[in-house]
Every structure is written in structure tokens, then in C-alpha cells.
Structure 1
Amino acid sequence: MGADREGSGRRRRTRVGAYVGCGAVLLSGCASMPDNGDLRGVESTPRQDAQVRVYALPPREDARPSEIVQGFLEALTSDDPNYETARMYLAGKAVSDWQPNASTTVLAEGPNALVEPSGTREDDGDFLYRLTGHEVARVDAQHAYEPADESYNQTVHLTQVKGAKGTKQWRIDRLPPGVVMGKSDFQRTYVSVNKYYFTSSARSGQLGTVADPVYVRREVDPVTQMVRALLKGPTRWLNPVARTSFPSGAALKKGVKSLTPDDQNKLVVPLNGKADHVGQGKCTEMAAQLLFTLRDLMPTGVDEVELQRSDRTQLCVLDESGADIVASRGVGRATAYEYFIDGEGRLVRMLGSGADREPEPVPGALGSGDTAFRSAAVERDEDRAAGVSKDGSKMYVGSLASGDSLGGPVVRSEGQKEDDRLTTPSWDGRGDLWVADRDPKNPRLLMLPDGSGEPLEVPTPPELDGRVEAVRVAADGVRIALIVEKGGKRALYIGRIERESDSSGDPSVSVVALRSATPQLEEVTAMSWAGDSRLVVVGRESRGVQQMRYVQVDGSMPDGPQPASLTGVKEIAASEDEQLPLVAHSEDGIVRLSSGSQWQKVVSEGSAPVYPG
């Protein structure tokens, strides 16, 4: 990828492929898999161009049991919309009972198939094959991705059935639910796309959105897949903190098989009777969810959505500009500056547009140099900032207006060592301020309501069995990224922020449902949000060297180029606005990576780069 930064432009396109493929690749079901018990792996299909659709071949006449198993497994990796070819390998109740959409199991390599008992048939004359491999991930019926690290062990039973000409043919009559494939086939066949739901985290009172990443089949009508997935509501992990404006039970009108934008990039979505009596305001929210969800799905996007009642009359129409009025997606506003701490301990800023100008101290007390800081966080509207003192023991909040003075510290740490004190703080989209105290005697995750209230100690789940070393809250205010150290190793986790009020109206906040975002990394040293559902991470694999990569909040690796390599990275900053460059603190000082360029030095002395948030 050279040094290009992936994802420039607000409308980052997830290139899903054309709706009419420009070619087709046939998967042969005749690969060798002897019946004598030898272990053989299903060959993964070489990754094809996104515009090429892949189809499987039906079973040939008089195919051996091994060919039937091999052909069926290969058919699972094709772009057959409803797995019609895969079903040709089935017989009996398996034809109707098999549920390919129940789950997708991803193995490190294609599944191995071993006939059992080794070298013999079962007593009834049928064959039993055992499928094995190492499971690395699973996609559930909601299309949600979850990393895994366990053995896969399932069986496939074959029997003989009467063929069209009266001959006996081998077919599969018992098999596990869902589909299984190797990692390379999964990467070719599936693509990650964000669904969008609403939160109450926008500080201005405007609706905020939260991205809910799911995996859909890349070449199998992804528009219709995503609309159906959106209508079914948030995935289980996100559901407690997100809401949809679609009424319960809303779905596509019966008989609607496929949705395709017209030549003006307008998409018409006919709904069932559950949405017939939706009001205009609610309907525009529904349409905004669709536009946000479909915006990145195709190379040209969807510019306008029309929702229809069950009788095909119009409910409402909304275009992209209208969607941006209904709700704020991601940051919700343009970011003006990048920030870091200079060699004198001052908070300084430079234009986020990449303009070649020297950094300047911020207005107000944090840029005056009267108090030296080692890290800072800037509120998302860039009116205030929080700074942690040079020794890490105190945190201050001050205005970024000229002439304003700095008050007393809002948080103190009693840690005996500098590394046992306060982390770099982080602002969420509601204007609340977060920081972790690493004092071994009193480790705490703290949140200051509106950045100025009394610090609340935020409960964390029991599985957070370690010390929080870094905190970054997403713009949506409902997801938090934490680097946690345990046993000398640091891992990245994503948690869900749940907010309630007690009987007296006082706020109650907790972090729950932690999940690993970097299961493949042994040591994570730095991270930052870099999109609606993406982070940039600095870390290394076991026995590996330091690397920088993008990761999804669900623990998967996104499509597209990774950041250019950079040695000696200590801290990293990215904006959720993907047009803006990466900024890092490396052994060369503060450096910046703009789209289409190499890493460039900004200053030799500086640390703790941040964007607002």
C-alpha cells in the first residue's frame, strides 16, 4: 500500500462489487479426498477481484463420498445467493432443515475432512466424515463477528439415495447448522459494513449515531442484506445502548426480493404494514438510518431514500443533506486542529487540514507554559481541554480562550511513581471527561460529568482483571476503548458504557461487556479511534516486531490498506474524520501521515499527540 493512509474522504467506500458480475469463476467439486481415512484440507479459493462472482458446480453422476463432501464445502464459499448448489449435495430432511444463515464459522485454514471409522463404513453402510480445524472467528445470525480461538470438530453423515435414473447417489443427510470456511475464503466472500442506530449522546440535543459493524456476503445483493439487517435492530452487544426508529416488526414488504438504487442513486424501500402509520418525524429518522448505513456500501453510495407503506404509497423521502440535519454521524462537526504537548510542556496545536504551518500554543492557561503538562485531551467542540501535570499526579480542565486562567486540579492521584498515576484523559460526545488512575493501591476509572462535575468512579466488569493503561471514548459516547495490562502484557478491549439515574436523579455510569479487539496481538502499546467502528493500534504479535494496523471494534481486520510502517512509535492519534492525517510520537519526535504521502516530521521535541475527543 506504500505510505498511503486508507480511507481519505468522509464517504469512505466499502467496495462491495457490481450487482451484475463482470465474470464468473466455477469451483470444481471434484478435488481428491480419499475414502481411506487420510486427512485432507479443503483448498481455499484464491482471492478474486471484487467484480468477479464465484459459483460452484453441482455433484457429478456417481461421485464418491469424498467428492460429495469436498464439493459441498467448496459450494459454501461460492456466491450462490441461496446456496442452491450446496443443497444439491444434500438429501432427506437435511435439504429443508439445514440453515446456512444460522452462522458462519471461520477456520485458520479450510476444513479438514476425515472419514470415520478410519478405512471402513458405518454398520448401516453409510459414511461419516469428521470436519476439523482451528476456529478463529464466528459470524452469528445477526451478522455479528466474534473472534475465537478453539478447535472445530463437527460431523457430516452421507447416505445413498436413488438418483434420477434409478442409480444410487451419495448425498449428505446430516450436517451441522451454518457454513464453515477458511479465513482466506471468508475474506473474499464477506465484507464488513456499518449499520447505524441512534444514541442520546449528542451534547447539542441532536440525535447521535452509533455504528454497528456486521459482515455480509460481498457479492450477494449487499444492499438488500444490509437493509434487512438494519430493520432487525442492533446486534446483541450494542442493543442495550442503541435504539432504532423503525417500529417493532417492521420489515420489507412481502414479495420484495431485491433492492437496487436507480440511475439517480435513489433507493425505494417498500415496508410491511408495521410501518404504515409512522409519523413524518419518525419516518425521516428511519430514512436517515438507511442513508447512513448505505452511504459507504457502494462505490457511488445512495443519495436519496424513499420509504413506502405496504400499499406502495409514499411515507417520506430524505436525501443526504436532510440526514445530516436529523442526526450527527461520528464526530458531527469538522475538526479544526491537531494537538500535542511541546518540549516546554505546553499544549500546542496545528491545523488538522495538513497545512504546512508551525505549531502554536493554544489560547488560555494550558498553552501559557505556567503549568507543564505531559498529556492532554481536547473537548470535541474545541472550547475546553484537560491536561495532566508533568508528574501525572493532577488533572486540570481549562478554557481554550485567551486570557482565561487555570483553576485547581479536578482529579488527583496518590500513586508513588509517575507511571502509577493518571492516564491521558478522553472526552466523549456528551462532553463528559474520562481518565484512569493507575495507583496500585486505588486503581480507578473516573468520569467527570460535563467535564466539570464531581468525579464518578465507574464500575468495570470482573473480567477486567488488570490495570487500565489507556482510555479512549468513542464520539458516540457508548463505547470505550481500554488498554489493560495484566501479567506484563497489554491488550486492547472495547467496553459498552451504560448510563442510568438513581432515585434521586444522580447519574450512574458503568462499563460492561468487555471484548477483545486485538486477539492476535500480544502487546498493545498505543491506540486511537480512527473511524466510526475502527481504531488504529500500535502493538506486536508474539515474537514479532512492532507494527501499526487498523482493527475493527469487533476484533476483525478491515479491508483496505494498513498504515505505512513507522519505527519506535510511543503514542498515536487519529481522527474519527478519516480525511485527517495520523499523528504519532515516535523516536523522531512528532510526525504526521497524510493521505498519499510518507510520514513527515513536524517537530523533534513533543509528545502525547491528540485530536479532539
Structure 2
Amino acid sequence: MTRARLLSLLVALVSATGLVATGCATLPSSSSPQVIDTFAPSSPDLSVPTPVPDQEPDLLVRDFIKAAAIADQRHAAARQFLTPEAAEQWDDSAETTIVLRADLSAEGGRSADRAEYTLRGEKVGTLDPGGIFRDDTGQVEVTIGLTRADGQWRIDELPPGVVIERTEFFSTYAQRELFFLSGSADSLVPDPRWTAADRTDLGYSLVNLLATGPRPALDGAVLSRVPDSVSVRPTESADDGDQPGTTIDFTGLPVLSSQATTQFAAQVVWTLARSDVPGPYRLERDGAPLDERYAEGWTTEDVRDFDPYPPVEPMRYALTAADGLVRLDAGGARPADGPWSAVRGGRSAAMSYDGRTVAVVAGDAQTGPRRLMVGALDAEPVEAISARTVAGPTFHPVDGRVWALVDGSRLVRIGVGGDDPSIQEMDARPILELGSGVSDLRIDRSGARMAVVADGKVFIGALSDETGQPLAGSFRQIGRTLGETVTSVAWRDRSTVVVGRDTAEAPVVTISVDGAITEPLSQRNISGPVTDVAAAGREVYAVDQRSLLRLDTAAETSDRYWREINGLAAIRAEPVVAG
């Protein structure tokens, strides 16, 4: 994602809703070199602050905070604002905190040669080692002391770590994606990381990050064919500069099978391609092609089966309480003319990724029992479970089983097929720990992650690559600034969720999977609260107070209106999409 895009998202968020992403961001806490620590400011429009002669101490501190966003050579730009002794002793790797705004006050007083300022700010996230952003809240307060040396003010006292303002963070860092393999090893799972926005060695840096493995929350949920023993080096070929694309020479890479080689290439190629590193990608082992078939370089077409963002068809079905399942086509909604049209009281539904199986939660009374019906699209529905409450349903993309949380305590997955669906109890504890009222859950298209709404908050967690169970300790809240207003969640793609809210202001919002970017969608022709959301391709769907609406997110900004679906105007209907 480009810097301009990031800033436009923030501006849109502030102007549309005031839901400014607050939190704190922390740079690597390890003293060992990390990719985000080697920033090369090559952009001509990037201004690097330097001390100004006879600069007032408060202005010098502010320029120091701006310079601290540039992590090149252990924050060399920021160290210029320190005395030689302080520059040598400052531990910049302890923690870097990103604040919404840095407020300074001279509470410590000022004399002819001494000044002391207190910096206060509201946290907006943490950036862990390897560029992992974490949503966070709270207040920061640090004291910075200055002395006048040779007539010029310099900082001589400051605590370990770095504090930078959010605007500077988004000006100097960019979100990029590493890709790891799902448990089935046939799909890619994005792992967003924040690295320096302008780098001359981006390709090598990203591959080195791949070798460090996934973020802790994905441990046990994904696989990698890029071992931690591997390292990369710039090619030593004298004529490489005359070749188009990028050469990555791996050292320490073991011999891989043909299948593992393709999986390895898929991880590397999609990681580089999605970050706009130029292809084709000549992948080498100790100077020799990794695979002679691709000696001239790999492209995304060579690993198209692993495309992490494959094309998705728009929604083809909707669920109505009175007429069951209805089909959507160019002319609008019409009866599906199948056994699912007879299901009454439909409240939520999902479809398998192959489009052959449906799961519907039905119940006539507002407080009556809920029936979870499952079955093939062209077969009679079968009641799998009857319960007081059902959160879901959602389909697993690999095995095609239906997941749901029933009665607020039992997590089940249901095998569809035959007269009697098979029901397996899962470990619900990692989900129940999130809150007392779980209202929605959705598995992503890779099968590695799950989004959960609990007590009006949204969480992202991981599923075990071996057992499929939710992984304890992997769930983290995102979208903290939304408060407890979230009613429903859906995966827009593998790196973004869309949430519905019980508010009139910004009733539908998208959030990046790491929680770093929150963006309200159009508010034109939609009236919150929103009770359900879904997404398919370029379209997002929402159920507001009136009816089921759809938004074309690829339309020109001036044309982004929520529109009713022909045949369903003013009719209560629920979206039915894959997942």
C-alpha cells in the first residue's frame, strides 16, 4: 500500500467519522538488526530534520521527534539532536511508541542553560520486531532534558525507546505483506508488516523477513518453505544490472522436492510481487537456478494457483424470512425454485466455496429456538442443530464443514452429506475468553484465521494447521476505536475484514487484519444500525434498518452509493456468500 493511500485513508476516517485509529506503535525491542531498522530516505519529497542554529529548545525537541521516525543506522538522524554522550548512551531499540499527537509542556522549568519538557500523547499502536503492528491504547508520558552546549541546545536526558507521532509514522513506513502457507499447503496467508517506505533493498529485506517466520499469533496456524537457516545476498553477476527483474540468491537452502520448490517460490514470488518489487524473479541457490525450468525467472503466472487474492464472483443468492432462498441475477431477485425456498424464518446463511452446499439459521420467533439447517443446494435441508442461539454459520474452505457457536458455549463443526450430518465438538475456550456475548464468527478463505465478534468488539485469531482448533492466545482485538459497537463481521479478503455497527455514524467499516488501518465505507443511502455484512469481490453487502444493500467499492467515489437489490426493495433479506 502506498504512502499516499495510507494518508488518504486516515483523512477519510477523520473527516467521515472521527474514528481516528488511536494506539501505539513499537519498533523492535531487540538490539539485533531488523529489516525496519535500515531505512534509506531515497524519496526526494522526504525531508529529514536537522538541528537549526540557535533553535529554541521546544522546537528542537519537536524536530527530534520527527527525525526519530527515520530508523536508518540506529536513528542516526535523531541522534544529531543529542549531546555526544547522550547519543552514545541512548537505547533506541528499547521501545518505539507511536502517539496520535505529541504534546509538550515545560513543567520542569527553564534556566539559561537547562530546560526540561514533559511529552504526553495518546497511544495508537505498537510495532514489534519484524514490523508487526499491534493496536494499543493508553497514555504516554516521558521527560526530556536539554542543556545548552557551545551556545546550542541539545538533548542530554531522555528515557530508552523512541516516541514518534502517527503522521510521521505513516510518512516513513509502509504496510507490506509476507505470505506463508496454510495448513493444507495449497493456499497463501498474508502476514502484514510495516517496513521503511523507501528502500533500495526491499526484495532482500522482505525475503529475509520471510525466513524469520510468521508473527507469533500465526505460529501453529501456517507453514513455511523458507527455512530460518536461509539468507539472501545480492547477486554477484556482473551483468545482472542489464537484466530485467530481480535476482535473489539464497544460501543455506536445502534441496527441495518439486512440490516444495513450487510452494517456496509461491511464498517468495507473491511476497515480492505484492510489494511491487519488479519481476521476473530469478530465484537461485548458491548462484545456480533453483529450478532450471525457470532459469529466466518466475512470474506470478507460474504460481497462479497460490494467488492470495483470487477473483471472486458477486453474490448470487439471498435469504428472506418469508420466501427462503432467492436467486439474484441481472434482472434482480427471483425464487430459487429449489428445496431451500421452503425454509421459513431465515436469519443468517452461508455458502460453501464450491457453491454446492448451504447452511441456514432459521427461527420464526424473535426469542424462539434456532435451527441450523445444512445440505446441498439442490437437496432437502437437514436440521443439524436446534439451540437457543447460533453464531455463524461459516464454512471452512478446505474440508467444507460448517462451523457455529451454539447456545453461547458450544463450538461445533458439522460435516455435510448424507441423512445425518456429523457433529464434532471443538475447543471453544479461546473464543469464550473474548467475551460473554459472541454474536458472529467467520473463517477466512485460507482457513488459517477466524474473525469473532464478542461483546461488540472484533477479534482476529488463528486455527491450528494440524487439528483445526482455535489457537489459544492467538486472538487479538482490532478496531479498538470502534468501541463496543460491532454487530457483525465478514472477510472482505484475506487481509481485511468488513464490520457492521449499531451506529448511524459510519455503520460499515473495513479494518486491516493487523488493526493498523480503519476505513469507513460510504455512508450514502444507508441507515444504521447494521445487523449483517458480507463481501464478494468488489461488492460489499449490508443489512440496515430497511433492507439488504450492496456497495460497489470499485465505482468512482462520486458513485459509491449503497443500492437496493431489484426485487428485494424494502424486504428483509440476508446476504448469502461463500464462507
TM-score (norm 2): 0.78
Q: Is the 8 A contact 2:501 2:528 kept in 1?
A: no
- Distance in 2 between residues matched to 1:100 and 1:224, nearest whole Å: 24
Q: Is the 8 A contact 2:179 2:270 kept in 1?
A: yes
Matches within 5 A, 1:430-445: 430=398, 431-438=400-407, 443-445=409-411
Match of 2:22 in 1: none
Matches within 5 A, 1:392-431: 392-401=369-378, 404-407=379-382, 409-413=383-387, 415=388, 421-430=389-398, 431=400
Going from structure 1 to structure 2, the CA distance change for 1:573 and 1:281 (only over 3 Å counts) comes to same
Where 1:275 maps in the other structure, the secondary structure is coil
Where 1:423 maps in the other structure, the secondary structure is strand
Match of 1:601 in 2: 564
Where 1:465 maps in the other structure, the secondary structure is coil
Matches within 5 A, 1:310-459: 310=286, 312-316=287-291, 317-325=297-305, 327=306, 329=308, 334-335=312-313, 337-350=315-328, 356-362=330-336, 364-367=338-341, 369=342, 372-391=345-364, 392-401=369-378, 404-407=379-382, 409-413=383-387, 415=388, 421-430=389-398, 431-438=400-407, 443-449=409-415, 452-459=421-428
CA offset at residue 263 of structure 1? 8.2
Give deviations 1:16-36, integer Å, cap 9, x for gaps. 579xxxxxxxxxxxxxxxxxx
Q: Is the 8 A contact 1:438 1:468 kept in 2?
A: no
Q: CA RMSD in A?
A: 3.5
Match of 1:562 in 2: 521
Going from structure 1 to structure 2, the CA distance change for 1:282 and 1:101 (only over 3 Å counts) comes to farther
Match of 2:23 in 1: none
CA offset at residue 497 of structure 1? 2.1
The code of the aligned residue for 1:514 comes to F
Going from structure 1 to structure 2, the CA distance change for 1:172 and 1:540 (only over 3 Å counts) comes to farther
Give deviations 1:328-366, integer Å, cap 9, x for gaps. 525x57446432113524122325xxxx33234446422
Match of 1:553 in 2: 513
Going from structure 1 to structure 2, the CA distance change for 1:237 and 1:94 (only over 3 Å counts) comes to farther
Match of 2:209 in 1: 229
TM-score (norm 1): 0.74
Match of 2:281 in 1: 305
Instruction: Decide which of 9, 15, 21 is 2:2's aligned counterpart.
Output: 15
Does 2:168 correspond to 1:185?
yes
CA offset at residue 232 of structure 1? 2.1
CA offset at residue 143 of structure 1? 1.0
Where 1:55 maps in the other structure, the secondary structure is coil
The code of the aligned residue for 2:317 comes to Y
Going from structure 1 to structure 2, the CA distance change for 1:70 and 1:424 (only over 3 Å counts) comes to closer
The code of the aligned residue for 1:243 comes to L
- Distance in 2 between residues matched to 1:261 and 1:144, nearest whole Å: 32
- Distance in 2 between residues matched to 1:78 and 1:338, nearest whole Å: 48
CA offset at residue 593 of structure 1? 1.5
Q: Is the 8 A contact 1:396 1:411 kept in 2?
A: yes
Identity %: 22
CA offset at residue 230 of structure 1? 2.6
Q: Is the 8 A contact 1:338 1:350 kept in 2?
A: yes
Q: Is the 8 A contact 1:287 1:306 kept in 2?
A: no
Does 2:113 correspond to 1:151?
no
Q: Is the 8 A contact 1:592 1:599 kept in 2?
A: yes
- Distance in 1 between residues matched to 2:63 and 2:258, nearest whole Å: 51
The code of the aligned residue for 2:516 comes to S
CA offset at residue 444 of structure 1? 2.5
- Distance in 1 between residues matched to 2:132 and 2:147, nearest whole Å: 34
Matches within 5 A, 1:42-53: 53=45
CA offset at residue 606 of structure 1? 3.6
Matches within 5 A, 1:21-36: none
Match of 1:209 in 2: 188
Q: Is the 8 A contact 1:458 1:511 kept in 2?
A: no
Matches within 5 A, 1:218-297: 218-221=197-200, 223-253=203-233, 264=244, 266-271=245-250, 273-275=251-253, 277-278=255-256, 281-297=259-275
Instruction: Decide which of 585, 590, 593 is 2:543's aligned counterpart.
Output: 585
Going from structure 1 to structure 2, the CA distance change for 1:518 and 1:607 (only over 3 Å counts) comes to same
The structure that is helix-richer by fraction is 2
- Distance in 2 between residues matched to 1:95 and 1:495, nearest whole Å: 40
Instruction: Decide which of 108, 119, 122 is 2:100's aligned counterpart.
Output: 108
Q: Is the 8 A contact 2:371 2:384 kept in 1?
A: yes
Match of 1:47 in 2: none
CA offset at residue 127 of structure 1? 5.3
Where 1:133 maps in the other structure, the secondary structure is strand
Going from structure 1 to structure 2, the CA distance change for 1:570 and 1:547 (only over 3 Å counts) comes to closer
Going from structure 1 to structure 2, the CA distance change for 1:516 and 1:292 (only over 3 Å counts) comes to same
Structure 1 gap ranges (5+) = 1-13, 19-49, 162-166, 416-420, 502-506
Q: Is the 8 A contact 2:90 2:160 kept in 1?
A: yes
The code of the aligned residue for 1:306 comes to R
Q: Is the 8 A contact 2:204 2:234 kept in 1?
A: no
- Distance in 1 between residues matched to 2:242 and 2:517, nearest whole Å: 32
Q: Is the 8 A contact 1:80 1:220 kept in 2?
A: no
The code of the aligned residue for 2:78 comes to A
Matches within 5 A, 1:521-560: 521-522=482-483, 523-539=485-501, 545-557=505-517
- Distance in 2 between residues matched to 1:287 and 1:16, nearest whole Å: 28
Going from structure 1 to structure 2, the CA distance change for 1:458 and 1:450 (only over 3 Å counts) comes to farther
Where 2:434 maps in the other structure, the secondary structure is coil
- Distance in 2 between residues matched to 1:74 and 1:337, nearest whole Å: 46
- Distance in 2 between residues matched to 1:382 and 1:143, nearest whole Å: 38
Give deviations 1:444-484, integer Å, cap 9, x for gaps. 33222568422314322363231111111111222211111
The code of the aligned residue for 1:568 comes to G
- Distance in 1 between residues matched to 2:451 and 2:434, nearest whole Å: 12
Going from structure 1 to structure 2, the CA distance change for 1:150 and 1:508 (only over 3 Å counts) comes to closer
- Distance in 2 between residues matched to 1:328 and 1:612, nearest whole Å: 17
Match of 1:138 in 2: 126
Match of 1:30 in 2: none
Going from structure 1 to structure 2, the CA distance change for 1:178 and 1:79 (only over 3 Å counts) comes to closer
Q: Is the 8 A contact 1:81 1:220 kept in 2?
A: no
The code of the aligned residue for 2:362 comes to S
Give deviations 1:539-567, integer Å, cap 9, x for gaps. 267xx7353221112222257x8344421
- Distance in 1 between residues matched to 2:331 and 2:448, nearest whole Å: 35
The code of the aligned residue for 1:58 comes to T
CA offset at residue 170 of structure 1? 4.5
- Distance in 2 between residues matched to 1:147 and 1:303, nearest whole Å: 34
Point out the more displaced range, 383-392 or 214-223. 214-223
CA offset at residue 145 of structure 1? 1.3
Going from structure 1 to structure 2, the CA distance change for 1:101 and 1:55 (only over 3 Å counts) comes to farther
Match of 1:467 in 2: 437
Going from structure 1 to structure 2, the CA distance change for 1:345 and 1:457 (only over 3 Å counts) comes to farther
CA offset at residue 427 of structure 1? 0.7
The code of the aligned residue for 1:209 comes to L
Going from structure 1 to structure 2, the CA distance change for 1:219 and 1:499 (only over 3 Å counts) comes to closer
